[in-house]
Amino acid sequence: MSIVNAFVMRDVALIGVDTESRFPDGSTGEACKVLFLPHLSAAVAFRGIDVAQAVATAQIQSFVGGFDELAEAMPEIVRQSVAVARDKAVNLFGVKAEYAEGSNFVLVGFSHAGNRMMGHAFVTWPGSPDVEVNRDFPQAISPFWSQDDITRLNIRTDKAGMRALALEQCRLARERLLAEAVAGGRLFISEIRRGSITIEEVCDFPTR
């Protein structure tokens, strides 16, 4: 699956995503994996099948409410989106259901309730209808194998640190997951503050 990382500090949050995507016919290309919500000073990054992202995007963009209200609504949005993706994957694309059942939605933005930046993660797993919720995290790292991998890098919570982390994730994904690895393309890092969202293309991942 994709690379999605988030570092959340009081006044600023960083989200990093890759762009590589694999399509039902086995080919690869680039895709957008983050949805920006400037009216909420927020963004939602995504890992998983693109149908789930598309369904969730429609619900998130039409949501009426603030960041904190959206955070409360996200588990149901994710559950519904993955259910639709599972159905479409099987009936339209002939893809195994479990391929569509694993997803990771990361919502980061300015919380009026907390008066600071905040991040929440919503994860689904193959074979389960449940949505695992991790609220108010300081950082989210996906894919993630072990704390040793992270500790060894001595990552700083800035753009340079996120770039180093993503390059290592790409290397490990290709080394450990081989043909199943979908990690690559380009790395984009978004900096989110109250009233401001900026996006920067940071680097190209190594070619396969």
User: Which of these ranges, 26-30, 128-132, 148-152, 182-186, has the smallest mean pLDDT?
Assistant: 148-152
What is the C-alpha to C-alpha distance for residues 103 and 85, in angstroms, rounded to an integer? 10
Q: Where are the domains of the chain?
A: 4-204
> What percent of the chain lies above the pLDDT cut of 90?
69
pTM comes to: 0.93
Q: What is the pLDDT of residues 10-38, one digit of tens each?
A: 999 999 999 998 876 777 899 999 999 99
| Nearest partner of 3 among 106, 77, 111, judged by Cα | 106
Provide the pLDDT for residue 179.
59
The CATH homologous superfamily for domain 4-204 is Aminohydrolase, N-terminal nucleophile (Ntn) domain (3.60.20.10)
What torsion, rounded to 10 degrees, do the Cα atoms 96, 166, 144, 137 define?
-110
Provide the pLDDT for residue 96.
78
DSSP 61: H
Q: What is the pLDDT of residues 97-134, one digit of tens each?
A: 787 899 999 999 999 999 999 999 999 999 898 999 99
Task: Return the SS3 of 62.
Answer: coil
Asked if residues 41 and 19 have their Cβ atoms less than 8 Å apart, the reply is: no
- H-assigned helices in the chain: 50-61, 67-91, 97-101, 147-153, 159-176
